[in-house]
């Protein structure tokens, strides 16, 4: 059988591709490598390096003529979806529709969509949460996933496209991206094995349903059967809090780090756990890997992973800087002839080490700029997180941008972050006279980093 996997170089997708090829299927992969890694790719797969939004997707479908499509490609950062919902929808809705249209056109017999359990249900009152629970996603990411679920229902009823939706719990395991916001197991493994100090957001009492990646792949394989249709939760039905995850990884890794807590992320979901009994009854699927065994396997992979750790990335950066320094020195020795070289170099924008490990973002929906008091006043908050770098002072400026593009600075200051990793500081802002504002812009002046929010008719 011919199978197309969108997102097949990513964490879950690459494991799926391995399993499909092991079963003897022909596999083609579409991935833009934004979060996936080329080294994850199975050499037996045909690889197309492209975005799911690209017009070239049509050519891939025409050439490959897949029987089944697995759709795992996505913009996966929930915070990023809040900061830029239009870009999130561009990938997660319009890109998905690009796949659906081409699947319909080329006669695909089954479309299997990877959705989300936690972001779909939000903070549910019923734990574990079944598929019949009401869906009220609180992020553009969750809204986009739910939108595609509804589109799939439409394509099934109107065009006859058979589909299965898998709402995944918190998946963990080998190949998970430790730089993402959702992979707490990977983040802790990466930090502890590198001798660094991870931090737990808030009390650590928030719970998640952790399911091992190999178990998820077996659910994906079971979903290929033509008679399997509809929506299925894929999880263990077991709540585990973040403190317990921290302690288990610390024990397995032998880390000597402390259990340090930082401020809670505003609006963070407190409980998430899925009822997967429907998958057991209809898919014949149950999770096999206990959490302790899964964590041990994940820690061992991080110990022995190819292209090791962030140290090699830092090393490459400093080698690059050293090369630039030598180049600048050579230009200086050349005197007047070197002046032209130095002037040209001054036009280049070097990304400082600090910028590579700094995140500037609006916390959540409640923190987005909004008009208050029924007048021109505006209120919002933003946050800065120092993931790695040594820089601890962040001067910032807040601007009001008008319809004509002109910016007026309305506030500013400097934020000091403690010299501790994963330290986050939130800043509350109120602008008394924002009646003429079209957009709010927050800028880190030393890093040339900024975020913005278009107010439009936001009241």
Is the peptide bond preceding residue 128 cis, with omega within 30 degrees of 0?
Answer: yes
- Provide the terminal-to-terminal Cα distance of the chain, rounded to the nearest Å: 53
Q: What whole-number distance in Å separates Cα of residue 234 and Cα of residue 245?
A: 20
- 141 catalytic, yes or no? yes
Pair of tokens at residue 432: 């008394």
| Distances, alpha carbon 336 to alpha carbons 191, 326, 340, in Å | 48, 17, 7
The DSSP output letter for 129 is B
Rg (CA), the chain: 24
272 contacts 121 by C-beta, under 8 angstroms = yes
Pair of tokens at residue 129: 């949460």
440 contacts 398 by C-beta, under 8 angstroms = yes
In 3D space, the residue among 320, 319, 346, 316 whose CA is nearest the CA of residue 331 turns out to be: 346
List the catalytic residue out of 48, 133, 141, 361. Answer: 141
Q: What whole-number distance in Å separates Cα of residue 271 and Cα of residue 265?
A: 14
272 contacts 265 by C-beta, under 8 angstroms = no
Active site residues: 141
């Amino acid at each position: 059988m011919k199978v197309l996997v969108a997102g097949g170089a990513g964490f879950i997708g690459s494991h799926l591709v391995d399993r499909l090829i092991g079963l003897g299927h022909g596999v083609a992969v579409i991935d833009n490598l934004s979060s996936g890694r080329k080294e994850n790719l199975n050499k037996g797969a045909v690889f197309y390096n492209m975005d799911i939004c690209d017009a070239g997707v049509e050519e891939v479908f025409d050439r490959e003529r897949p029987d089944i499509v697995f759709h795992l490609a996505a913009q996966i950062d929930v915070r990023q979806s809040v900061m830029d919902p239009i870009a999130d929808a561009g990938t997660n809705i319009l890109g998905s529709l690009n796949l659906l249209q081409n699947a319909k056109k080329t006669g695909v017999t089954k479309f299997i969509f990877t959705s989300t359990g936690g972001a779909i249900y939000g903070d549910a009152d019923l734990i574990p949460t079944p598929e019949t629970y009401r869906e009220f996603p609180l992020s553009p990411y969750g809204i986009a996933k739910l939108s595609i679920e509804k589109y799939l229902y439409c394509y099934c009823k109107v065009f006859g496209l058979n589909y299965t939706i898998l709402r995944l719990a918190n998946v963990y395991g080998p190949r998970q991206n430790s730089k993402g916001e959702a992979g707490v197991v990977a983040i802790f493994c990466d930090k502890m094995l590198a001798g660094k100090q991870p931090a737990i957001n808030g009390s650590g009492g928030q719970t998640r349903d952790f399911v091992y990646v190999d178990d998820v792949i077996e659910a994906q394989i079971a979903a290929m059967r033509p008679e399997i249709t509809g929506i299925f939760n894929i999880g263990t039905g077991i709540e585990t809090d973040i403190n317990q995850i921290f302690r288990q990884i610390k024990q397995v890794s032998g880390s000597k780090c402390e259990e340090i807590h930082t401020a809670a992320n505003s609006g963070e979901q407190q409980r998430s756990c899925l009822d997967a009994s429907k998958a057991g009854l209809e898919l014949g699927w149950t999770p096999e890997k206990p959490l302790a065994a899964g964590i041990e396997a994940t820690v061992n992979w991080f110990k022995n992973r190819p292209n090791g750790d962030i140290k090699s990335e830092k090393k490459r950066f400093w080698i690059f800087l050293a090369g630039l320094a030598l180049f600048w020195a050579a230009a200086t020795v050349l005197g007047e002839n070197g002046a032209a070289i130095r002037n040209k170099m001054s036009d280049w924008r070097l990304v400082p080490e600090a910028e590579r490990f700094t995140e500037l973002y609006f916390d959540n929906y409640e923190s987005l700029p909004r008009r208050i008091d029924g007048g021109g006043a505006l209120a919002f908050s933003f946050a800065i997180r120092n993931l790695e770098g040594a820089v601890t002072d962040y001067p910032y400026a807040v601007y009001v941008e008008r319809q004509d593009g002109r910016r007026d600075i309305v506030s500013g200051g400097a934020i000091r972050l403690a010299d501790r990793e994963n330290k986050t500081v939130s800043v509350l802002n109120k602008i008394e006279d924002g009646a003429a504002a079209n957009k709010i812009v927050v800028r880190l002046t030393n890093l040339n980093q900024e975020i913005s929010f278009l107010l439009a008719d936001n009241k």
